[in-house]
Chain A
Amino acid sequence: MIDRRGFLALGIASGLSSVVAACGWDGGDGVRPLLLDVSRLNDWVGEKILFSSRRLAPQYDIAERSARLPSYFVSPEMPMLQNPAAWRLQVGGLVRQQLSLSIPDLQALPRTTYTVKHHCVEGWSAIATWHGVAVSVVAERAGLLPQAKYVRFDSFDSGYSNGWDLASAMHPQTILAYGMNDSILTPSHGAPLRLYSPTKLGYKMTKYLVSMTFTAERPGGYWEDLGYPWFGGV
């Protein structure tokens, strides 16, 4: 008898889980906050335990570049500057010296070039070469104040932004990229300047940059505020 009862209980349990799933359940008001709490725990583990500021992402030969690297923006149409010559990257927040940098200014700084694998949260990956200046180099010019713990990157793509932990931003492979695959960055990939790092998922790499702001409080972000993992490290 107990076997039959056990079987029945099993049937009910699996039936329940199907019903629950049938609504594409994100946890509802009861469970979703718990899932987001665990996501914050995972951010902490990812940032404090798994991430290393010295560990470099593997690099690839340029012959291994992918034929295609998809790109996204959140605006209805591809964001384009009306007057590219007037564009400047504003570096501010908890710094000694605010900076306003043009593309030639950035290109005059020490250049970082690497060929790495891009990991999208959706599960696809693609290899490309990126050219830019390390965020740490620009931060050094601006002079970080000790209170700076995070960085906020803003764009001209309908308010798309990302918040980063300082250690990931200062990683030697985290760059402000003005070039891709030996050419100037194209509008579809975030021209004139985008954030790039092989230590993060694609959605953390702000395109169409306008400013880089060092903060003491943890900044949110476009997808992060909608429920995607905040740390987004790979």
Chain B
Amino acid sequence: MTASPPPFPPSPPPPPPPVKRHHWIVRLTHWLTFVLLVGMIMSGLQIYAAYARFGERGGPYYAPNPFQDHAFSRTIRLGGWLAGGLNWHFTLMWPFVIGGLLYLCYLVASGEWRSLLFRPRDLKGAIAMQKYYLRLRREHPPQGKHNPLQKLAYSFIILLGVLSVLTGFAIYKPTQFSWLTALFGGFQAARYWHFWAVWIFTAFLIVHVILVFVVDPASLRAMITGWYRGRFPSHD
């Protein structure tokens, strides 16, 4: 006979106490932004259907655009026709912008921006985190509320949100905001960046949801109830 099994199985570690993770403003604006963003994108694709390319009439078109002259399926368009798409887009923009501003005000007022904003000093931590994900490092690096890669992703997506609103203004009122439109390289360039924001948002959304389920499913509950009881406690 070989070694007999140990008399007792090792006792499991005690479950970590739940910690309050997200303020109600964060949870509300998170889900609000998700639903509104889906609506903005779907009505935006309806608007895109009216002129599915970028560039002055008769001039060269902006590239790359894998969707040049592409007709998106009616299933993912909102509004039915151009005017319907416009009216949805110009209605949803209000709660979208107001929700975004509310969230940004909360970040500033609560000081929570400190644990979210990616700064140059986070670079080292981001590399350590990337090594952990690539299994080049065994130990999960210590982190605050968010690890440096999360900071990078969330800072970037907030910036993308701001840019999509600004390019939106540049397209909406290219004469009244001609300085802003010029800043983005003109009306057609602003349309182009506004459209690219859609695909970056979509890619972010897919990766974001995959990571939640693969790495930290408890974070989904935290974004709903506010309480986190997962395996990545803050080291703050």
Contacts and interface: CB of A to CB of B under 8 A. Distances in A.
B76 A21 contact: yes
A36 B218 contact: no
Contacts of A48: none
Interface stretch (A24-32, A88-96, A140-148, A177-185): A24-32
Interface residues of A, number: 54
Interface in A10-31: 13-14, 17-18, 20-27
Contact of A126 (B48, B56, B75): B56
B142 interface: no
Given A229-B86, A233-B173, A120 B75 contact: no
Interface stretch (B17-25, B87-95, B103-111, B127-135): B87-95
Contacts of A27: 84, 87-88
A20 B58 CA distance: 37
Given A6-B221, A228-B86, A124 B175 contact: no
A7 interface: yes
A17 B76 CA distance: 9
B165 interface: no
Contacts of A17: 35, 38-39, 42
Nearest to B80: A24
B76 A18 contact: yes
B81 A26 contact: yes
Contacts of A123: 47-48, 50-51, 191
A198 B80 CA distance: 28
B187 interface: yes
A122 B176 contact: no
B78 A25 contact: yes
A26 B176 contact: no
A22 B74 contact: yes
Chain B CB within 10 A, most for which of A21, A57, A233: A21
A101 interface: no
A125 B224 contact: no
B138 interface: no
B187 A119 contact: yes
Contacts of B173: 46, 50, 233-234
Given A3-B221, A34-B91, A24 B74 contact: yes
Contacts of B174: 117, 119, 234
Interface of B: 35, 38-39, 42, 46-48, 50-51, 56-59, 74-84, 86-88, 90-91, 94, 172-178, 182, 187-188, 191, 213, 217-218, 220-221, 224-225
Given A51-B176, A117-B174, 10 more contacts: A21-B76, A21-B78, A25-B80, A35-B91, A38-B90, A39-B90, A121-B86, A123-B191, A228-B83, A228-B86
6 contacts: A14-B38, A18-B75, A117-B187, A123-B191, A227-B83, A233-B175
